[in-house]
Amino acid sequence: MKELVQNFPTQLHEAMLIGQSYRFTASKKDFANVVLTGLGGSGIGGSIVQNFVSDKLSVPFIVNKDYFLPAFVGKGSLVIVSSYSGNTEETLQAMQQALKAKATVICITSGGKIAELAKKKKLDCIMLPAGMPPRACLGYSMTQVLFVLQGMGLLDYNFKKDLNASIKMLKTNGKSIQRKAAALAKKLYGTTPIIYSTAEYEGMAIRFRQQINENSKMLCWHHAVPEMNHNELVGWRDKDNSKAVIFLRDEQTYERTQYRIEINKKIIRKYTKNITEVYAEGKSYWEKIFYFVHLTDWVSVYLADMRGHNATEVKVIDFLKGELGKH
């Protein structure tokens, strides 16, 4: 896993080459909505892209993480099927529903049943390098979502410039990012991490939580400001320094939200002294996102080392899939 994290900037470069070389056969049309269906490491890229396009697309962009698609999916829908393995049963079932609804379907995968079905149905299918844990391939899968949106005429934004700048930034600051990650991992060791972000970075907060779950083998939770000010904030009543709060922040965040975070810190500090703020680095949204991704991925593998766990191992998920396969 460390090698995969280390090679993240290279992965982004390779993802750019894959996206730039792909030629779509599906026709551009006036889509009524976009639905990305995918789970885990294959679906989280959709959540992050959803945050990004919320003020850029003229149609709704929905992320589906279930067996069933929303009822509105039909001929006017673009359904992006994202499954790294190509065998995720929930995603495969949702794909079949999309085909039945006569939606335009585009797949992002490394193979499996989804690639086979895409070939049979003559669908666009962007193929990714195989043989890695899906959560370690975020750069591959998320980048292709942007290429799909652009290729279908939905996204008028030069994200390629931002991604190239992100790659350069990560390579330049690699050692600094690792040092900061190691320091944060020490603060989180032996704690229950609680990740807070603003709404625009909630997809990133989910990603961080998932990496701590899978790589570090730890429970944690996340929430977003301002929503958490209307519920979770009231739950802070008991002093417990084993709760470690991490605020993912951006200096460009809306001023009222910034002010809310400062008030939140005052309240939470009464109940835990373990509060850390991590500020995004970079100029564009994507530079900041990839900075957060790279930093927090390192945090998760450092925590795995400190806890004596193999960051790659997911035996409990393998057991779950084995049990599901019996029925």
Beta-sheet strand order (sheet of 104-109)? 61-64, 33-37, 77-83, 104-109, 124-127
Catalytic, 321? Answer yes
Q: Which of 230, 266, 315, 327 is catalytic?
A: 230
- Please name the residue that has the structure tokens 């666009």: 124
Q: Which of 75, 239, 270, 321 is catalytic?
A: 321
Q: Which of 200, 214, 281, 287 is catalytic?
A: 214
Q: Which two tokens stand for residue 52?
A: 């990004």
d(CA 63, CA 34): 9
Catalytic, 230? Answer yes
Count of residues in the chain: 327
Contact 214, 314 (CB under 8 A): yes
Catalytic, 214? Answer yes
DSSP for 245-291, written as a single string? EEEEE-TTS-HHHHHHHHHHHHHHTTT-S-EEEEE--SSSHHHHHHH
Give the three-class secondary structure for 37: strand
Question: What is the set of active-site residues?
Answer: 214, 230, 321
